[in-house]
Amino acid sequence: MTSRKPNRFFSKKQENKVASSLGMKRTANSGATMFDKGDVKGDDILIECKTMTEPRKSHTLKKEWLEKNREEAYSRGKQLSALAFDFGDGQNYYILDELDFKALYHAWRELNEE
């Protein structure tokens, strides 16, 4: 009989990795309370994390994940929202809507023009 770790194990591992790599905080209980939402939070951003429990080459992303995270970010006074996705190989990819991508891109351009 194979011992399989619960999905929560993999989710918490990804959330900790994202928070640590960005210098942010992991939301307690994965944002499941009515007072604190999202999985990882910074001063201006709320990140929802999604991970696979085993390596895969593809997975369906749901628009509702992005929309819900955007709404929760704004309700918490955050200017940006993102979805961090791991295909099960430990590599995170960040998905942004166009508005947030433009804001980050323009900020990056301004920093690099100095």
Tell me the pLDDT tens digit for each residue of 29-72. Answer: 654 556 667 899 999 999 999 999 999 999 899 999 999 999 99
Q: Which of 9, 74, 4 is nearest to 37 (CA)?
A: 74
Inter-CA distances, 95 with 23, 42, 76, 91, 98, Å: 18, 16, 20, 13, 10
Q: What proportion of the chain, given as a percentage, has pLDDT over 70? A: 89
Whole-model pTM? 0.86
Tell me the pLDDT tens digit for each residue of 72-111. Answer: 999 999 999 999 999 999 999 999 999 999 999 999 999 9
Q: How confident is the model at residue 4 (pLDDT cuts 50, 70, 90)?
A: confident
pLDDT of 2 over the 50 cut: no
DSSP three-state, residue 72: helix
Do residues 77 and 67 make contact, with C-beta atoms less than 8 angstroms apart?
A: no
pLDDT of 21 over the 60 cut: yes
The two tokens of residue 34 are 């009515």
pLDDT of residue 103: 94
Residue-range domains of the chain with CATH = 7-113 (3.40.1350.10)
